[in-house]
Structure 1
C-alpha cells in the first residue's frame, strides 16, 4: 500500500449525533478518500459512537480505531496517541462535530507539495448548530486585512502577527516528519487551551510555513441547552486553563513575540470575562481568577492592546497594576453593556421584520379586506349594543 497523503486524527468522545456527518465530509474530499489515513481515537465513549466507528473500520481499510483504556477527559491525550500511529506524509486534525469543504485537503496539499513548507494553514468559518440554514461567518481573526492574502514560505520573524491568530490546529497541514523530528505534543489534561502550546511550537520551530486565505474548515458552535459550551459548564477551569496555556507558551517566545501572542490569549479570556456566568461566580473566585489573569498581562504592548481591545484596555491596565477590584467593576460594566447591546439588537431586528412586513406587497394587497373586516367588526359591536339595551 502506498503512503497516504494525509493522516487525519479525530479525538472522539460521545459524538454519535455528529460523527456520521463529519465522516461524510472526509469521504467526499476531492483529494480522494483513498489517499487519506483516518485515525479515530475513542476516549471511552459511553453512547453509540463506538458502534459507528467499528462500522467504518470494518468497511474501510484506511480507517483505524484506537480505544483508550481510561477516559482522559480532554483532547490532548487522544491527539497525542493518534500522532503515534501516523503513516501519512502530512498530519492534520479534525474534531468529530465539525465539517470540511469538499476541496479542503486538496487545497492544502497542493500548496504543501509546491512550496515544501513545514506546514500550510487555511482559514475557517463558523456556523450555529441551531441554524437550519447554516449561515457561516468568519472569526474576527480572519477578517483582518493582513489575512486576506496568501503567504508562501514565510517565517514567524517575517510575519509575527500570525501569533495573534485564533488557535486552530485543524487548520494546519503539517509535515509528519517535522512533528516527529521536534517531538511535538499536546498538553494533556486541559479541556481548553491545550492547542495553544502545539500551535506556538509550530510557528516558532518552522523554518518556513504558508498560508492561504481559503476556507478549509467549518466549525460548529453547539449552543443548545443540551450541549452547553465548556465556558458555561465550568467558567473557573476554562479561565485557569487559558492562563496556564499562556504561562507554558511564554518560554517559547521572545518578549516581542509574547506581546503579539497576548492578543490571542486575551481573546479567549475576554470572551469569558464579559459573560454573565463569570459575574455569577462568588466574589472570592472572581478575584482569584482576575489575579491569575493579571500574571498574563503583567507587561503588555499598549499600542497593540489599543488596536485589538480598545474598550477592554482599562481592564488590562488595571490588572497589570494589581487593581483587581477596580478591574472587576469594569468587567461588570462590560457585561451590562453586552446585555443591553444584545437586547437592543434583538429589538432592532424585530422592528426591521415588522417594517418589512408592513411595506410588503401582500400587506398592501390585503388592505381593502382588512378595512372591510374592521367595518364588519364595528357593525357587529354596534348591533349587539343596540339589542342588548
Structure 2
C-alpha cells in the first residue's frame, strides 16, 4: 500500500493504530477522507473486471443519479467455477434502470446487499451523513445500503457484471461472516431492526426478503443443526422478530422452498420448524453434490471431445483388449488350478 501511495499521487494509504476487527470504522474513515467526485468500496479478497468502474462512471456522468449500481458474480475459491446470485437472475434485473427511485422500483430492496456494487456521489454521502455501523462484522452494509436507497432522489442500474466475489469453501480460510453463526445472526437481526424505521411498510416487506436470505443461509446449514438446542432456540427467537408481518406473496415469489419454515416459526411451531429445516439442509447438501458432479462430467466431456483424445483412441482400444485378454487368461488359469487342486 505504501509503495502504491508513493508511486501514484492519487493513491492514499491510511493505517490505523489498531485492527478494528470489523469493516465499519475503516470505511467511515475512507468516506471522511474521500475527496473525489465519486466513491466506491472494494473488499481485499475480491476483484473487479478491468472496465467495471469505467462502465459505472459513464452512466453516472450521463445521468443525474445519486448512485449507479451494477451486478456481481461469485466464483469458487477452489476450482474457479462462477455462478450468479439468485437476485440477479430475476428478469427484472436483466434490463437497465436510469434515474429510478425506490418508490417506483421497491424490488431493489430485496437485491443482495453489496456496497461494492455502487458508485456513489461523494457529495451525496456527505450531505446526508451516510455511514456504516461500527463494530459489526456483518450486517453493517445493509444499513448503509438502505440509507442510499431511501435518501437518493434518483439512482441507476446497469445489468453488467462489475464485481467478482470470492466464495470460500475452505474450512481453514473462512470469511468473517462464516466464522461464528451466533454473532452473524445477531448482527443480521440488529441490522434489520436499524433499517425498519427507515422504510415504509411495503418497502420493508421487500427488505425482509433481503434480510431473511442472509439469515436463512446461516440457519439452513449443517453448522446450525450441530448447535445445542438452547442455542438453536435462541437464534430462532431472534429471527422471529425479523419475520413478523411478512408478505406471503413475496415469500412465495422469492423464498418458496423456505416459506413453510418461515411460516412455522411465525406461528410458534418451533419443533416442526426445526424438523423442516433438516430437510432444507439436506436439500442444499445434495444440490451442492449435484453441481460438483455436473462440473466433473463437463470436465470429462471436454476431454473426450479433444483432439488428443480422438488421436489416442486406437491405443486405448488396443490397451483395453490387452487387459481383457490378460483378465481371461488369469481366470482360466485360476479355474485350472482349482480343478487340479480338487483332484
Normalised to the residue count of structure 1, the TM-score between the two structures is 0.80
Between structures 1 and 2, the one with greater strand share: 1
* Structure 2: distance between partners of 1:377 and 1:361: 26
CA contact (8 A) 1:223 1:229 kept: no
Matched, 1:330 2:276: yes
1:331-369 alpha-carbon deviations (Å, 9 max, x no partner): 122112323444455566667777888997578533243
Q: For 1:343-354, what aligned pairs fall within 5 Å after superposition?
A: 343=289, 346=292
> Partner of 2:134: helix, strand, or coil?
coil
Q: 1:285 to 1:82 in 2, by over 3 A?
A: same
* Structure 2: distance between partners of 1:63 and 1:248: 34
CA contact (8 A) 1:151 1:210 kept: yes
* Structure 2: distance between partners of 1:116 and 1:278: 45
Q: 1:349 to 1:205 in 2, by over 3 A?
A: closer
Q: For 1:56-71, what aligned pairs fall within 5 Å after superposition?
A: 56-71=4-19
Q: 1:255 to 1:126 in 2, by over 3 A?
A: same
1:231, distance to aligned residue in structure 2 (A): 4.6
Aligned equivalent of 1:161: 107
- The counterpart of 1:207, out of the listed 149, 153, 178, is 153
Q: 1:351 to 1:72 in 2, by over 3 A?
A: closer
1:233, distance to aligned residue in structure 2 (A): 1.6
Q: For 1:40-189, what aligned pairs fall within 5 Å after superposition?
A: 53-131=1-79, 134-189=80-135
> Partner of 1:261: helix, strand, or coil?
helix
1:38-82 alpha-carbon deviations (Å, 9 max, x no partner): xxxxxxxxxxxxxxx222222222211111122211000100011
Q: For 1:210-359, what aligned pairs fall within 5 Å after superposition?
A: 210-343=156-289, 346=292
Unaligned ranges ≥5, structure 2 = none
Corresponding residue pairs, total: 335
> Partner of 2:190: helix, strand, or coil?
helix
> Partner of 1:314: helix, strand, or coil?
helix
1:256, distance to aligned residue in structure 2 (A): 0.6
Q: For 1:357-368, what aligned pairs fall within 5 Å after superposition?
A: 361=310, 365=314, 366-368=316-318
Q: For 1:20-59, what aligned pairs fall within 5 Å after superposition?
A: 53-59=1-7
Q: 1:244 to 1:342 in 2, by over 3 A?
A: same
CA contact (8 A) 1:357 1:363 kept: no
1:385, distance to aligned residue in structure 2 (A): 7.5
Q: 1:233 to 1:384 in 2, by over 3 A?
A: same
Over aligned residue pairs, what C-alpha RMSD do you find? 2.5
1:223, distance to aligned residue in structure 2 (A): 2.2
| Higher relative contact order (Cα pairs below 8 Å, separated by 6+ residues) | 2
Q: 1:347 to 1:256 in 2, by over 3 A?
A: same
Normalised to the residue count of structure 2, the TM-score between the two structures is 0.90
Q: 1:347 to 1:65 in 2, by over 3 A?
A: closer
Unaligned ranges ≥5, structure 1 = 1-52
CA contact (8 A) 1:142 1:165 kept: yes
CA contact (8 A) 2:138 2:177 kept: no
Q: 1:113 to 1:294 in 2, by over 3 A?
A: same
* Structure 2: distance between partners of 1:164 and 1:126: 18
CA contact (8 A) 2:76 2:167 kept: yes
Between structures 1 and 2, the one with greater helix share: 2
1:261, distance to aligned residue in structure 2 (A): 0.5
